[in-house]
């Protein structure tokens, strides 16, 4: 059985105790999407403001949930703020890859290269306090399959918000 230290990394607890971009945005102009985890009742509210040039000019997170869902939402908000919608979509794909690598371990050797997850995937322009390392901290979640839905709730909600703000 994997240990708690694989799950509750310090950076995760930091985002949990001091969530970034917590709050609300006025709608409109912002888009608001509510995400639910029907298994546990956790709720994440994602607000994004997308400028005419396709930049996510502001983001806010509401709702309540466990340390994993809250910290994932916090890290996500910090990672996408100021990025373009295109970059945000790339990040969503990369994050989902991070969450599913170990789900497919049973089949192949599960190496990151084989799954198409390389460091390049994460090479978005990092500013602020978020880095590749922050998101990597959530990698331990895949050892606790029940919690993957906690970690991905905000990202699935973000996908819906991006679709509403800027239809593909």
Partner 1 sequence: MSLPADIKADFPVLRQQFDGTPLIYLDSGNTSQKPQSVIDAMANYYETANANVHRGSYELAVRATAALEGARAKVAKFINAPSTSEVVFTKNATESMNLMARAWGSANLAAGDAVVISEMEHHANIVPWHMLVAETGIELRWIPVDADGQLDLTDLDRLLDGTKLLSVTAMSNVLGTLNDIPRLAAAAHDAGALMAVDASQYVPHLATDVQAMGADFVVFTGHKMLGPMGIGVLWARAEILEAMPPFLGGGEMILNVTKEGFTTAEIPWKFEAGTPMVAEAVGLGAAIDYLSELGMDNVRQHEVELTAYAMHKLTEDHGEKITIHGPVEPSARGGVLSFVYEGESGEVHPHDIAQVLDQAGVCVRAGHHCAKPLMSVLGANATSRASLYVYNDESDIDQLSASLHAADELFSF
Residues that bind partner 1 (CB under 8 A): 1, 3-4, 7-8, 13, 17, 39-43, 64-68, 144, 147, 150
DSSP symbol at 146: G
Whole-angstrom distance, CA of residue 36 vs CA of residue 43: 5
Whole-angstrom distance, CA of residue 88 vs CA of residue 168: 13
What's the min distance (Å) between Cβ of 86 and partner 1? 33
Output 20 or 147, the one with its CB closest to partner 1.
Answer: 147
What's the min distance (Å) between Cβ of 17 and partner 1? 5
What's the min distance (Å) between Cβ of 150 and partner 1? 7
For 83-125, what is the HEC assignment? CEHHHHHHHHHHHHHHHHCHHHCCCCCCCCCCCCCCHHHHCCC
What's the min distance (Å) between Cβ of 22 and partner 1? 14
Output 11 or 132, the one with its CB closest to partner 1.
Answer: 11
């Amino acid at each position: 059985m994997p240990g708690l230290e694989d799950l509750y990394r310090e950076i995760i607890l930091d985002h949990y105790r001091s969530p970034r971009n917590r709050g609300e945005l006025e709608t409109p102009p912002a888009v608001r999407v509510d995400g639910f985890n029907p298994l546990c009742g956790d709720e994440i509210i994602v607000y994004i403001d997308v400028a005419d040039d396709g930049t996510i000019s502001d983001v806010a997170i509401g709702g309540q949930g466990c340390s994993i869902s809250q910290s994932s939402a916090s890290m996500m908000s910090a990672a996408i703020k100021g990025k373009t919608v295109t970059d945000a979509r790339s990040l969503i794909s990369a994050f989902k890859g991070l969450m599913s690598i170990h789900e497919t371990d049973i089949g192949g050797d599960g190496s990151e290269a084989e799954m198409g997850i390389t460091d390049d995937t994460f090479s978005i322009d990092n500013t602020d306090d978020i880095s590749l390392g922050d998101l990597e901290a959530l990698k331990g979640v895949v050892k606790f399959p029940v919690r993957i839905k906690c970690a991905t709730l905000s990202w699935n909600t973000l996908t819906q918000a991006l679709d509403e703000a800027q239809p593909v």
